[in-house]
Amino acid sequence: MSHATTAPSPIHATRPNQVAVGTIVWLSSELMFFAGLFAMYFTLRAQVPEVWADKTELLNIPFALANTTILVLSSFTAQAGVWAAERYQRRRTGKLYQFKGWGMHEWFVLTYIMGSVFIAGQVYEYAMLISEGLTISSSPYGSVFYLTTGFHGLHVLGGLIAMLFVLARSFAAKKFGTHEATTTIVVSYYWHFVDVVWIALFAVIYLIQ
């Protein structure tokens, strides 16, 4: 009499998402890049402190604070979009003013608008400072100010482009599934990163003068 043998149940190893891990590694390299910019800023400030004392008076701190607040709040709207993506909710379920029913599309569109307002504010600030004589070649302060804030602005633009890609992919997909949700989460990682870097830049450039 033969005894039937039961095949062992397959073991599913829990592994981190490779795209998310790759994004975190890449952001770590970006962090080193910004660390170099911070080092340059502090080195120049230590060498010519009198220039810093003179040029920082041109900064409009209340305006920069308002612009910073918009960018920081955009991290919360991006995260709300992630939560909607994690429950595979592509679009809102109620009226537009009913925020609790918003899907990933609505939250990411709002995040995109807020990021665009931040960039517009930065361009306006540049125009005002240039009109007062602060250019990238006018002084060491002008050089390091425009380099640090400008490179960050380019990263914000990159995040805005990534959001457009996420939204386009979601609209094109027949079904909002794991791949679309993962893309949303990865882009949110990047967006949170540029927000945190800007908070540090704002503190160093505008507050610790």
Distance between CA atoms of residues 33 and 136, nearest Å:
20
Lowest-confidence segment of 2-16, 110-124, 147-161 by average pLDDT: 2-16
Q: Which two tokens stand for residue 187?
A: 């882009």
Domains assigned to the chain: 18-207 (1.20.120.80)
- pLDDT value at 74 more than 80: yes
Q: Please write the tens of the pLDDT for every residue from 33-73.
A: 788 888 888 888 888 788 787 888 899 999 999 999 999 99
Here the tokens at position 47 are 């060498």
Question: Which has more pLDDT, 26 or 141?
Answer: 141
Interatomic CA distance for residues 185 and 86, integer angstroms: 8
DSSP codes, 18-81 = HHHHHHHHHHHHHHHHHHHHHHHHHHHHHH-HHHHHHHGGG--HHHHHHHHHHHHHHHHHHHHH
